[in-house]
Amino acid sequence: MLGSYRAELLKLRKRSAVWVLFGAGLVLSLIFGYLLPYLGYATGDGNQQTDGIPRSEVLRGVLPERVMDNTIGGFPVFAGALALVLGAIVVGSEYTWGTLKTILTQRPGRTTLLGGQLLGLLTMLAVWVLGIFVACSLCSIGIAAAEGAPMDWPGPLTLLKGLAGGWFVLTLWCLAGAALAVAFRNVALPIGLGVVWILGIEALLAGVVSSLLPDLRFLSDAMPGANAGALVFSVTGMTAADAPPGVRDAVSGGRALSTMLVYSAVFVVLAMVTNRRRDVS
């Protein structure tokens, strides 16, 4: 397993698509977490973007005390979609390039190979989360210094919970992408289906349920995206009023965590079983 894991890290490190996706996540986090709010703050109270929120509150949102909100606030939606794409391209391209056959005839068993791949992906996601956190921290430090605002940081436990929660949200979507890639032995179809699910179906379902079919709320609350949003909500200092799209207290943090664990386990088991049973052509 260690050899497979090291090989995966080599592949991930040298693959430009991995860093392009990371760069996209980083840029989007900084734009929505810092650039747009800061522009709103700089242009005054009457700005439509701030929707009447006092400037001091807008500034507070981009200071170090809210760094975790800005680091993982976008994870349930856009960073999650990017993590799904990561899982799909890394696992799916083994089929499209035919490299699965090359590896499997070397030595590792199918379970070992997939296990190494998933561990490599989870390691890369940890690098993503830390990278975005560092960039967000630098932005908040810069803004605080420029505005002469206090540099109060969240406590270590809050930071740790936030980073772990954000990593787990990305992990969930990445595993979904990997499982879809194994199922379809492809890259494009899993990405298409997964992204439509994250960005379209879940939001649509939540909207229909809340407005037309409130009795089916249990269904929308059981969706992976709803639970990812609830987990982020629970590990940050957000309120319902200032939470970004996709982040809401649909369920409690504990329930969100256990639901996500179940989804993750299902994705891993499906991928492993399918991978073991199928012919490699």
Partner 1 sequence: MNATTAPLVEVSGLTKRYGDTLAVDGVDLTVLPGEVYGFLGPNGAGKTTTLRILTGLIAPTSGTVRVLGGAPGQAQVLARTGSMIESPAFYPYLSGLDNLRLLAEYAEVPRTRIHEVLALVDLAGRAKDRFSTYSLGMKQRLGVAAALLKDPELVILDEPTNGLDPAGMRDMRRLIRELGADGRTVLLSSHLLGEVQQICDRVGIISEGRMVAEHLVDDLRTEQELVIRATPRESARSILTEALGAAAVHQYDDTLRVKVAPDRAAEVNRLLVEAGIAVSELHSTERALEDVFFELTTTDNGPEKTNAG
Yes or no: say if 18 and 129 are a contact pair by the CB < 8 Å rule: no
Q: Which residues bind partner 1 (CB under 8 A)?
A: 3-4, 6-7, 10-11, 14-16, 97-99, 101-109, 113, 279-281
- The residue among 104 and 130 lying less far from partner 1, judged by its C-beta, is 104
Shortest approach of partner 1 to residue 28 CB, angstroms? Answer: 24
Residue 152: enclosing H or E segment and its boundaries? none
Report residue 276 as tokens. 């073991």
Q: Which residue has the tokens 């390039």?
A: 97
Distances (CA, A) of 231 to 8, 121, 240: 29, 21, 13
Shortest approach of partner 1 to residue 127 CB, angstroms? Answer: 19
- The residue among 100 and 235 lying less far from partner 1, judged by its C-beta, is 100
Query: Which residues does 227 contact at the CB level (< 8 Å), separation at least 6?
Result: 221, 250, 251, 255, 256, 259, 260, 263
Shortest approach of partner 1 to residue 122 CB, angstroms? Answer: 18
As a whole number of angstroms, the distance between CA 68 and CA 153 comes to: 10
Shortest approach of partner 1 to residue 65 CB, angstroms? Answer: 42
- The residue among 106 and 210 lying less far from partner 1, judged by its C-beta, is 106
- The residue among 164 and 280 lying less far from partner 1, judged by its C-beta, is 280
Provide the H-helix boundaries in 185-252: 188-196, 202-211, 217-221, 224-235
As a whole number of angstroms, the distance between CA 227 and CA 6 comes to: 32
- The residue among 45 and 97 lying less far from partner 1, judged by its C-beta, is 97
Shortest approach of partner 1 to residue 189 CB, angstroms? Answer: 20
Shortest approach of partner 1 to residue 100 CB, angstroms? Answer: 8
- The residue among 8 and 202 lying less far from partner 1, judged by its C-beta, is 8
Residue 186: enclosing H or E segment and its boundaries? none
Instruction: Give me the numbers of helices (H) and strands (E) for the chain, helices first please.
Output: 14, 0
